[in-house]
Amino acid sequence: MKSAAQQALAIASKTPTLAIVLVVFVLGYTFKGMVSTAPPASGMAGMDSSAEEAQEEIWTCSMHPQIRLPQPGKCPLCGMDLVRVEGGSGSKTAKKKEPKYACSMFCVPPMSMPGDCPICGMEMVEVEDSGGDDGNPRTLTLSPTAQKLAEVEAVPVTRKTVSAVIRMVGKVDYDETRLGYITAWVPGRLDRLYVDYTGVPVKKGDHMVYLYSPELSTAQTELLEALGRSESIKSGEKSIVNERVGAWVDDIRDKFRLWGMTDEQIAEIEKRGTASDYMTIYAPMGGIVIHKNLLEGSYVKTGTRIYTIADLSHLWVKLDAYESDLAWLRYGQTVEFETEAYPGDIFTGTVSFISPVLNAKTRTVKVRVNVDNPDGRLKPEMFVRAVAHSEVAAGGRVVDAELAGKWMCPMHPEIVKDEAGDCDRCGMPLVRTESLGFVSIETGDVEMPLVIPASAPLITGKRALVYLEVPGEPGRYQGREIRLGPRVGDYYIVFEGLEERERVVVSGNFKIDSAIQIMAKPSMMSPDAGQPMPSDEEGHEQHQHAGGEMPSPREDMDMPEGLKLNIPPEFANEFNPVLAAYLKAQNALSHDELGQAQDAAKELRAAIADVDMSMLAGLAHIAWMKESEGMAKSAGKIAGSADIQKARAAFALLSESMIVAAKCYGDAQETVYRYHCPMAFGDRGGDWLQVKDKTENPYFGSAMFRCGVKKETIGKRSTGGASDDRG
């Protein structure tokens, strides 16, 4: 029987054209059969497998990523069109980039088919492939077209002072120090009231009341009798009787003065030579009569109030400041305000008092402002809207070039002098404005805070997330959690997580976060969607600290929980010289010895430099890096201070770091106490460490050597560390 090949050749010989086709087909068929019957080579098998994988595709739903199907179609859960998964087995061998279509609001991941967005209905536009990430779960790459669609804008992180605007409301009130009362100093009857209605302006010395009092007649008769006896005695004789009569006359005259009579009235009685039952009461001060308490014919006792006079040339404005704005208000600060009566007119005053008590219902604090009112336009009970501007430096200090370096009265803020002295009004010693929280940029002692625009962070609860431009990779953005300080105007102060000159996204960050969120990566609302941050052996998060600001153990450790750090006991031998040098500085400042404090600060810096940091690892190493840097910087300021006040200000910052370090790293051979002075730095308060059981205040020295209270006893770490000893 002929084979299939022989039969095909016989037929082809009769038809030449068909012969060629059949020969090729038969040979191919035969060759295929021959190959298929042989065992496949390993190389050929690999090629065949790759070809099959290249044709495999995985399709998923943008709303339900758990749906993964081998072909396109509809999501069985929500009915949305499935999208092809990028980065699957098919994309590894495919070199050709297919066009992508994205929604300008980033509702869904980029799709391979045009149309309308299934979420918002906007038309999908063609964009370039956004690529993948570098392993960071918060990284997203956008093409130039996608950046324009998202309206992404980034600005650099900067260090600068920022301006806070504090808005307050309140009303005008009387100046309590400029109120006067006219009272009856002797009992009697009001026969005449010269001022018979309220609102009358009076001057000092104007007659106010014509008072009838029988006691006046008795006292005047006694005065005239004493004068008569003194005249009967010869003027040339000196005797005990003469001296007693003279003293008697002087006593009666003093009694009349205590009753409110003037020297002219007393001289008139002596000149007249007869007693009278009447006397005139004069105004002790000028102002406006705001109260008339009695009518003519009323009988009064000693001390009965008749009139109230107010000097309206100086007034108080009582304002309500929100709790969140208290950090930017200072005693002596200038405040501008407007009234309903004079819209557009700006009045100014000076903060003279900030209430130490918060209103629990309104969450506000009363702020009192002293205001000059020479033209009388301001009236008590007027409503006002006030604004205070504060240029804020690091640490919440207010920058004011006009007040920095000057002296101010702690009772009357309008008294400001260039040199030390006493207040012209109350006689109290003037204090440095730096102690009230004012600094100047010109002095060079101002540290600029690290700030970002208020639109940059995405804030939810206690978390704050920003997106940064990846340097050298246009269109790539990386999310990072940061720790924010207070908001000051249009900026946030950054405590941790950013470095100067990094570029942070201020517009389009919500769209970037949305794109990352629908990809099931960590985002603002889903912090745990991606990989957790690396941690040390005890489960603490590790933070990057190379070349940037490191986290402060004061917040991150939640003291005294920070004492659980993995710190070798022998590290205490490294830290104890640092603590000893600090205690020398504390002792020197408490005894007003600037030179000794500077020597101790130099010794402290040397001790910090000698510490072997290689003994620490993980969070303990990071915390020491942060605290030692702050301590060395503060010690340098103490060593270079021009006066003891600046040294004490730097010592306060040094103490903040030293207290944390002593709890974490110390293993004190003797008891160390933490003390607190509530009056330091304009009642802001200040803490420090010392070994003596009695207060030795380093912030006031001999002026208030014992001002302070023991707050805490810091012992060995092996005994549990810090123990509260509040008194």
Query: Which residues fall within 8 angstroms of residue 719, CB to CB, at 6 or more apart?
Result: none
Distance of CA 333 to the CA centre of its chain: 17
- Range list of β-strands (E), 49-200: 59-60, 68-69, 83-84, 100-102, 125-127, 139-141, 153-156, 158-159, 162-174, 179-183, 188-193
Relative to beta strand 162-174, strand 383-392 is antiparallel
Q: How high is the pLDDT of residue 535?
A: 37
- The letter for the amino acid at 661 is A
Query: What is the three-class DSSP state of 306?
Result: strand
| Residue pair 624/616 in contact by the 8 Å Cβ criterion | yes
Q: What percent of the chain has pLDDT over 70?
A: 72
State the pLDDT at residue 585: 94
Q: Please give the Cα distance from 13 to 447 (Å, whole number).
A: 101
Name which of 705, 592, 706, 606 is nearest 651 in CA terms.
592
Q: What is the pLDDT of residue 669?
A: 64
> pLDDT-derived band of residue 582, with 50, 70 and 90 as boundaries?
very high
Domains of the chain, residue spans: 4-54, 165-175+313-443, 176-310, 553-724
CA distances, 88 to each of 70, 370, 557 (Å): 11, 73, 43
Kindly report the pTM of this predicted structure: 0.50
- For residues 237 and 249, what is the distance between their CA atoms, to the nearest angstrom? 18
Q: In the 3-class helix/strand/coil scheme, how is 662-724 assigned residue by residue?
A: HHHHCCCCCCEEEEEECCHHHHCCEEEEECCCCCCCCCCHHHHCCCCEEEEEECCHHHCCEEE
pLDDT of residue 540: 36
Task: Give the integer Cα–Cα distance in Å for 414 and 416.
Answer: 6
pLDDT of residue 333: 85
Residue 553 in this model has a pLDDT that exceeds 70: no
pLDDT reported for residue 696: 93
Cβ-proximal residues to 24 (8 Å cutoff; 6+ apart), any chain: none
The label of the residue with tokens 């409110």 reads 260
What tens digit of pLDDT does each residue of 483-496 get? 998 888 889 989 88
366-407 tens-digit pLDDT: 999 999 999 999 999 999 999 998 887 766 667 665 666 778
Q: What is the domain class of 176-310 according to CATH?
A: mainly beta
Query: What is the reported pLDDT for 37?
Result: 36
Residue 90 pLDDT grade (very low, low, confident, very high; cuts 50, 70, 90): very low
Q: What is the largest CA-CA distance in the chain?
A: 183
* Angle in degrees, 0-180, between the axes of helices 618-639 and 644-665, rounded to the nearest 10: 160
The Cα–Cα gap between 395 and 329 comes to 14
HSE value, Cβ hemisphere, 13 Å, CA-based, for 50: 9
Token pair in block for residue 123: 């038309």
> Mind listing the pLDDT tens digit for each residue in 255-273?
888 887 888 888 888 888 8
According to DSSP, residue 226 is labeled: H
Distance CA 459, CA 482 (A): 10
Helix 594-609 and helix 572-590, axial crossing angle in degrees, nearest 10: 170
Contact status, residue 292 vs residue 194, Cβ threshold 8 Å: no
Taking the alpha carbons at both ends of the chain, their separation in whole angstroms is 118
DSSP 85: P
Per cent of the chain over pLDDT 90 is: 29
Residue 667 confidence (pLDDT): 67
Query: Given this model, what pLDDT does residue 433 score?
Result: 75
**Predicted pLDDT at 300:** 92
CB atoms within 10 A of CB 681: 17
Please give the average per-residue pLDDT across 54-66, as a whole number.
66
Instruction: Answer yes or no: is pLDDT of 646 > 80.
Output: yes
pLDDT tens digit string along 188-243?
899 999 998 999 999 988 989 998 988 888 888 888 877 777 766 555 555 666 67
Q: Does 365 have pLDDT greater than 70?
A: yes
Q: Please, what CATH class does the domain formed by 165-175+313-443 belong to?
A: mainly beta
Alpha helices in 275-320 (DSSP H): none
CA distance 386 to 168: 5
CB atoms within 10 A of CB 166: 22
Mean pLDDT for the chain overall: 76
Section 53-62 average pLDDT: 65
The model's pLDDT over 111-135, given as tens digits with 9 standing for 90+, comes to: 767 777 766 677 776 655 444 445 5
Does residue 102 have a pLDDT over 90?
Answer: no
**Rg from Cα positions in the chain:** 44
pLDDT single digits (tens) 250-259: 888 888 888 8
| 515 or 158, greater pLDDT | 158
Are the C-beta atoms of residues 567 and 620 closer than 8 Å to each other? yes
Average pLDDT over residues 562-581: 78
Domains 165-175+313-443 and 176-310 share a fold: no
What is the model's pLDDT at position 598?
A: 94
**Is 6 a residue whose pLDDT tops 60?**
no
Q: Residues 451-472: what's their mean pLDDT?
A: 89
Average pLDDT over residues 37-50: 39
Tokens of 364: 């506000």
* Per-residue pLDDT, 453: 93
pLDDT for position 62? 66
pLDDT digits (tens, 9 = 90+) for 284-300: 889 999 999 999 989 99
**Per-residue pLDDT, 560:** 37
Nearest in space to 335 (alpha carbons), one of 399, 401, 386: 386
Picking from 331-340, 662-671, 714-723, which range would have the lowest pLDDT averaged per residue?
Answer: 714-723
